[in-house]
Structure 1
Amino acid sequence: MSITIGRRGLVAGAALAPLALPVAAQGRGEEISVTHWGVLMYGAPYAVSMEKGFFREAGVNITGILTSKGGGTTVRNVLAGGLPYGEVSLAAAVAAAREGLDIKIVNAGAATVADILWVTTPDSPIRTIKDLEGQRIAYTSPKSVTEMLVIMSLTASGVDLNKVERISTGGIGAGLTALRQGGVQAAPIMDPIWARDHARWRPLFFVKDVLPPMTQTVGITTTQFIREQPDKLRAIIAGRRKGVDFLYANPEEGGKLFAEAYELPRELGVRAVKNMVDVGYWSRGNIDTKALDNMVEGLRIIGEVDGPIDWTPLVDRSFLPPDLQATG
């Protein structure tokens, strides 16, 4: 089975725009939701598991992905379309739960924000994050993950926030344009865009070198789906886990499958997957409560969360494979 996305996927990634997802169904194929599918790296395990038949082996025939540009839209996709399972940002999951929506977190997705870095121009005199005092730094949009990470990274590095002008540029591509034109001195980038454009920029700081592990995305479902189709839910989680394991064990082939799914040049897909393998980007599904708390601390900083989070009623580890169920 091949997955057709279109080369507009990488262009859309530069602006974090939504993408249409035609995938040929086989038999009684079903769809799940994945935030930024066709744009960012969250979707790689699903692409591999569909192509390699891992979902079918686990007991569910996933042949299509619903997507969105993220946030509450992806949560609504989970509740309204296809099977009621999806990988969404932790921020969206927490917001949905606080709104009283019927969801449970059942697995971790992207286990880290290590895919995100800030870059500058090759000839820039700015060499470290501390050199940003008195300068301008880009992030995508207010209350975004990139705004959160800018604030947390500067603070963790001992940089006075009042001495750095933080500028919302609207998207990854727009931030890089502002950097190229001198409007800012640093801008965020992530794979697969970084894999494509790495020769154009010089890394200024990687978030992974500044901040602790932070869970970016989680798998969610509804209590109704848990009650009515528990075996299918286990199969989805197990199938994704096989895709993750394949990517770590076979980054070359996994990168080619990812590239085919996103219709990227093969060498670009391989480079992007190898970048993610190097930083342990994809969780096999196990839920690290400390990494959840670290992300929520950032969400508090940008005003997306108010007060503590009690994970007990929101997290259900019982559908993970037994070796991944240990609490953390």
Structure 2
Amino acid sequence: MRGSYSLIAATSVAALVLSACGGGGDEVSATSFDIAVSNATELYSIPWLVGKDQGFFEERGVTIGKIVPSKGGGTTIRNMLSGDLPMADVGFTSVLESSDADMPLTVVSGATQSVYGLDFYALDSNKQVRSIKDVRNWAYTNPQSVTQALSFMLPRVAGATQEIERTSSGGVGEGVALLEAGDVDVAVVPPSVAAKTGKFRMVVSSADYLDKFQQSVITTTPEFAEHHPDTVKAVVEGYAQAVQFIRDNPGRAAQLYADYIDIDTDAATDLVNKAVKYDNWGAGFDAEAIDQAVEAQRIAMDRKELKFCDLFQTTFLPKNVSSTLPAECE
């Protein structure tokens, strides 16, 4: 499984490099483009919605068009690699996979820096599973995913010692199906899904166990970063301003999100307030958040060594955000 995944990642990133270097890359506007966002119906989208609504990107000379959704980091990278999506808010573990295949992207900014939203739910009707220490069959999405690593990390942090059987569902939707069928005790249920139904009950709030975790990053190709540094800087600065706006105006952010995914405003407000509480978004680089994500990927890949330090470029970060990288990158 790992070999085929790495081959796909390598092929995809190679396509991106060719796209950015060749004629296709020249057709991409450096100041007006869509943005690819992993799981765009979830909380990842909110800073982009705010930035567009408040004009934070346009006032810096960049027009962000559509928020292009995908089902996960690898898919987001493939969307980005199609030739007309020069930047993306992509799962950090997918970037690590690409780097491991010796086809690194360039990480120009942080994005989602907590595991809030990657929470594990049981059916509300399942009265036997009330806490993490009751979980006997744990569904994660795919091998080498963050959710697989969390199925190991969270019980360890919580001091849960029971024997746990782990099941790869193949995706979030498939995990929910397994949960509804009674085949697993817990699975990831997206906040937008949980907000629309009363069928599920949260058993493991991941962010209660892991303070920081680099879930997603803003990335581009080394070529685009080199040839269009002002555009990259404008996007990062706009994102940073959007994050601050969310902290100062959670109600407006919640309304934008409620309208975007068609959920009740009160439910959206609750999600945004909790995300702010967990410091969910950040344009800067946080050493602890990056370290936790790298450790998770090492667990998921059963690897002790991962190349990742060369991925980061701090030159595009605003002065008012953190630029701290893990000690091994110094």
TM over 0.5: yes
Distance change in 2, residues 1:109/1:304 (3 Å): farther
Equivalent positions of 1:36-185 (< 5 A) are 36-37=39-40, 39-101=41-103, 103-122=105-124, 124-132=127-135, 135-160=136-161, 163-185=163-185
State the identity %. Answer: 30
Distance change in 2, residues 1:212/1:247 (3 Å): closer
The alpha carbon displacement at 1:102 in A equals 5.1
**Counterpart-to-counterpart distance in 2, 1:44 and 1:304:** 33
1:248-272 Cα offsets, whole Å, 9 max, x none, are 2111111111222334444443333
Q: Does 1:32 align with 2:29?
A: no
1:182-234 Cα offsets, whole Å, 9 max, x none, are 3222222232223333x433322211222341100011112222222111111
Q: Residue 79 of structure 1 contacts residue 222 of structure 1 at CA under 8 Å; is this kept in 2?
A: no
SS at match of 1:218: strand
Distance change in 2, residues 1:53/1:128 (3 Å): same
Equivalent in the alignment of 2:15: none
Q: Does 1:239 align with 2:241?
A: no
Distance change in 2, residues 1:121/1:100 (3 Å): closer
SS at match of 1:137: strand
SS at match of 1:318: coil
Distance change in 2, residues 1:95/1:175 (3 Å): closer
The alpha carbon displacement at 1:305 in A equals 5.1
Gaps of 5+ in 2: 1-30, 326-330
TM-score (norm: length of structure 1): 0.81
Equivalent in the alignment of 2:315: 318
Q: Which amino acid aligns with 1:157?
A: A
Distance change in 2, residues 1:195/1:248 (3 Å): farther
Q: Residue 99 of structure 2 contacts residue 307 of structure 2 at CA under 8 Å; is this kept in 1?
A: no
Distance change in 2, residues 1:282/1:79 (3 Å): same
Equivalent in the alignment of 1:293: 291
Distance change in 2, residues 1:264/1:209 (3 Å): closer
Distance change in 2, residues 1:126/1:73 (3 Å): closer
SS at match of 2:301: coil
Q: Which amino acid aligns with 1:229?
A: H
Distance change in 2, residues 1:261/1:119 (3 Å): closer
The alpha carbon displacement at 1:83 in A equals 4.8
SS at match of 1:192: helix
1:247-296 Cα offsets, whole Å, 9 max, x none, are 2211111111122233444444333322322221111x110123112111
Q: Which amino acid aligns with 1:146?
A: T
SS at match of 1:170: coil
Distance change in 2, residues 1:148/1:266 (3 Å): same
SS at match of 2:196: helix
Q: Residue 286 of structure 2 contacts residue 323 of structure 2 at CA under 8 Å; is this kept in 1?
A: no
**Counterpart-to-counterpart distance in 2, 1:109 and 1:255:** 18
Q: Which amino acid aligns with 1:270?
A: T
1:92-123 Cα offsets, whole Å, 9 max, x none, are 11122232335211111100112222222445
Distance change in 2, residues 1:304/1:59 (3 Å): farther
Q: Residue 56 of structure 2 contacts residue 242 of structure 2 at CA under 8 Å; is this kept in 1?
A: yes
SS at match of 2:195: helix
Q: Residue 286 of structure 1 contacts residue 320 of structure 1 at CA under 8 Å; is this kept in 2?
A: yes
Q: Residue 72 of structure 1 contacts residue 96 of structure 1 at CA under 8 Å; is this kept in 2?
A: no
**Counterpart-to-counterpart distance in 2, 1:160 and 1:131:** 10
